[in-house]
Structure 1
Amino acid sequence: MPELVLVTGGSGYIAGWCVAELLRRGYHVRTTVRSPEREKSVTEAVSTAVDPAGRLSFAVADLTADEGWDTALKGVDHVLHVASPLGATSDDPAALIGPARDGALRVLRAATAAGVRRVVMTSAANAASPSSYATEGVTDETLWTDPEDPTLIPYRRSKTLAERAAWGFMETYDGPTELTTVLPGAVFGPILTSDNLGSVGIVARMLSGEMRGVPRIGLEVVDVRDLVDVHIRAMTSPAAAGQRFLATGEFVWMADMARTLHDGLGEQGSRVSTRQVPDFVVRLVARFRDPSLREITPALGRRNRHSTEKARTLLGWEPRPAREAVLDCAHSLIAHKVVQDSPGRPSTTHPGPGPR
Structure 2
Amino acid sequence: MSTILVTGGSGFIANHILIRLLSQGHQVRTTVRNINRAADVRAMIHEGGIDPNEGLFFFVADLEQDQGWAEAVAGCDYVLHVASPFPAQAPQHEDDLIIPAREGTLRVLRAARDAGVKRVVLTSSFAAIGYGHPEQHLPFDETTWTNLDSPDVTAYAKSKTIAERAAWDFIAHEGGSLELSVINPVAVFGPVLSADYSSSITLIYNMLTGKLPSCPKLYFGGVDVRDVVELHLHAMTHSAAKGERFIAVAGNFLTVRDVARTLKMGLGHAADKVPNSESPNWLVRLTALFNPTVKQILPELGKFKNATSLKAQERLGWQPRSSEVAIIASAQSLIQLGLLKKAKPD
Superposition TM-score, scaled by structure 1 size: 0.93
Deviations 1:286-338 (A, max 9, x none): 12x21321110111122221121110011100111111100010000011111
- 1:10 aligned to 2:4? no
The secondary structure found in structure 2 opposite 1:306 is: coil
Cα distance per residue 1:67-126 (max 9 Å; x no partner): 110011111110110000013622211111010000000000000000001000011112
**Partners of 1:208 and 1:197 in 2: CA distance:** 17
2:134, 2:7 → 1: CA distance? 31
Post-superposition Cα deviations, 1:21-61, rounded to whole Å, max 9, x if no partner, equal 11112211100000110111101111122123320000000
User: Is 1:97 aligned to 2:98, yes or no?
Assistant: yes
Structure 1 partner of 2:81: 81
1:313 partnered with 2:325: no
Match in the other structure for 1:34: 33
Q: 3-state DSSP class of the match of 2:315? A: helix
SS at match of 1:216: coil
The 1:91/1:135 distance shift into structure 2, 3 A limit, reads: farther
Q: Is the Cα contact below 8 Å between 1:262 and 1:274 reproduced in 2?
A: no
Kindly report which structure 2 residues correspond to 1:6-155, keeping only aligned pairs within 5 A, or say none: 6-49=5-48, 50-87=50-87, 89-129=90-130, 131-155=132-156
Q: Which residue is equivalent to 2:305?
A: 304
1:238-278 per-position Cα deviation (integer Å, ceiling 9, x unaligned) = 11111111112231111010111123211111111121101
Cα separation, 2, equivalents of 1:348 and 1:311: 37
Amino acid at match of 1:269: A
Q: Aligned runs of 1:313-332 on 2, under 5 Å?
A: 313-332=314-333
Question: Which is worse superposed, 193-202 or 34-43?
Answer: 193-202
Q: Describe the shift of the 1:173–1:153 C-alpha distance in structure 2 as closer, same or farther (beyond 3 A).
A: same
Alignment partner of 2:147: what SS? coil
Aligned-partner SS, 2:276: coil
Corresponding residue of 1:249:
250
Question: Which deviations, in whole Å up to 9, do the C-alpha atoms of 1:174-193 show, x marking residues without a partner?
Answer: 52210000000010011111
Which amino acid in structure 1 is aligned with residue 170 of structure 2? F
Q: By how many angstroms is 1:133 displaced?
A: 4.8
Whole-angstrom CA distance in 2 between matches of 1:152 and 1:190: 30
Query: Secondary structure of the equivalent of 1:139?
Result: coil
8 Å Cα contact 2:113-2:175 kept in structure 1 = no
- Write the mapping of 1:195-206 to structure 2, written as runs, cut at 5 A: 195-206=196-207
SS of residue paired to 1:265: helix
The answer to whether the 8 Å contact 2:133/2:146 transfers is: no
Over 3 Å counting, the alpha-carbon distance change for 1:189 and 1:252 in structure 2 is same
**Separation in 2, partners of 1:133, 1:187:** 24
- Identical positions, percent: 42
User: Is the aligned partner of 1:281 residue 2:278?
Assistant: no
- C-alpha offsets along residues 181-219 of structure 1, whole Å, 9 cap, x if unaligned? 000001001111113443211111110011111100112
Take 1:98 and 1:307, find their aligned partners in 2: how far apart are those partners?
A: 30
Which SS does the other structure have where 1:305 is aligned?
Answer: coil
Preserved CA contact (<8 Å) 2:188 2:198: no
8 Å contact from structure 1 (residues 11, 196) kept in 2? no
How many positions carry a matched residue from both structures?
Answer: 341
Superposition deviation, residue 130 in structure 1: 5.1
Counterpart of 1:216, as a letter, is K
Amino acid of the residue matched to residue 183 of structure 1?
N
CA distance in 2, matches of 1:7, 1:267: 39
Q: What is the TM-score normalised by the length of structure 2?
A: 0.95
> Is 1:239–2:240 an aligned residue pair?
yes
Paired position in structure 2 for 1:352? none
- Give the partner amino acid of 2:194: T
Which segments of 5 or more consecutive residues in structure 2 lack a partner in the other structure?
Answer: none
Q: Which range moves more in the overlay, 173-182 or 326-335?
A: 173-182
Q: Which secondary structure state, in structure 1, belongs to the residue aligned with residue 229 of structure 2?
A: helix
Q: 1:187 to 1:91 in 2, by over 3 A?
A: same
**Distance (whole Å) between structure 2 residues aligned to residue 106 and residue 94 of structure 1:** 17
Structure 2: distance between partners of 1:291 and 1:58? 37
Of the structure 1 ranges 48-57 and 63-72, higher mean CA displacement relative to structure 2 is found in 48-57
Q: Distance in 1 between matches of 2:310 and 2:217?
A: 27
Shift of 1:134: 2.7
Structure 1 residue 149 displacement after superposition:
1.9
